[in-house]
Amino acid sequence: MARPPHRRARPARRSVLRRLSRRRDRPPATGPVRGLLLVCPGVTIAPASRTLPDPHPSTAPTGWLDAAPADLHPHLDTALGHRTPGVVATVLAALNSGGPGDDAFQHDLRTGPGYALPDETADTVFDGPVSVLTGRQDGIVGYADQFHAMRRYPHGTFSVIDEAGHYLPYEQPALLRAHTHHWLRRTRD
């Protein structure tokens, strides 16, 4: 019997997702969240309240920012710890793939009364495996506030990666991969 036109077959991707969710090598979930992998997280939301590292002397090669638009130079100078033209090109490609930002929305969000998260100073404990990766030269969110937040994660691992800033996944991809594999093993134990 043919299906009525208003009752089309479900897309094939649904069955693929269903099969993937039933994989035998994946342990059953014990709750909604088994673990947390936090990469350069902002745990202190208001920028003026963040503990940031001292500015580091530039050890970058001459012209490392030449490929970046001039209006991004201050941001990249603050955000990047691994300062090479290759890293800049990778970060620019990632930024450009997301499309233009909404500056008006960002301004309203940051200046509104609800910008700080209500649990920012709470002592809520997460008992699962946690890995927090931060960049030593991250001038956007820093690394010290994240270390102080580790009291909430009794099974947490904290790492500060040198020669990395706020774009750690693009600056030190091999280290991110190694830490992620370690964290995944811990979530399956």
Residues 20-40 have a mean pLDDT of 64
Residue whose entry in the numeric block shows the structure tokens 């991004």:
72
Residues 166-184 have a mean pLDDT of 96
Name the pLDDT band for 109 (thresholds 50, 70, 90): confident
CB-CB contact of 165 with 171 (8 Å)? yes
For residue 3, pLDDT over 80 is answered with no
Task: Render pLDDT for 81-108 as a digit per residue (tens, 0 to 9).
Answer: 999 999 999 999 998 888 777 888 878 7
Q: Could you write out the three-class secondary structure of 38-79?
A: EECCCCCCCHHHCCCCCCCCCCCCCCCCCCCCHHHHHHHHHH
Domains of the chain: 63-98+128-189 (3.40.50)
Residues 152-172 have a mean pLDDT of 95
Please tell me the predicted confidence (pLDDT) of residue 20.
36
Residues 126-130 have a mean pLDDT of 92
For 98, half-sphere exposure in the C-beta direction (CA atoms, 13 angstrom radius) is: 7
Task: Render pLDDT for 31-54 as a digit per residue (tens, 0 to 9).
Answer: 678 899 999 998 887 788 898 998
Nearest to 188 by CA among 50, 134, 180: 180
